[in-house]
Amino acid sequence: MSQHTKLPRILHTLTGRMVLGELLIHMALIPILFVSIVSIVKEGYQTRFIDQVRTDSRLFAALISNEEAPDKIKELLDEVSE
């Protein structure tokens, strides 16, 4: 029973209220921080992926533009799709 009486006594002290306030603030801010960091990282990976695809497309377009034989172009396209 002594533990049940200690908790209300601790919450009525300045230290107890400060600790409780800090815990509540952390419980509110950590999910917001986590969501914002995840969205920033996700956006960065998407941007890197799009840049990589654009670079590969540009290189592939330059490679195909030099070829005049339709068979060679079809062979190059088949290699890329695999």
CA quadruple 55, 56, 59, 64: dihedral, nearest 10: -140
pLDDT band (50, 70, 90) for residue 6: confident
Q: Domain residues for 48?
A: 2-81
Number of domains in the chain: 1
Average pLDDT over residues 59-78: 84
For residue range 38-65, list pLDDT tens digits in order.
999 999 999 999 999 999 889 888 888 8
Report if pTM > 0.85. Answer: no
Other Cβ atoms less than 10 A from the Cβ of 8: the count is: 9
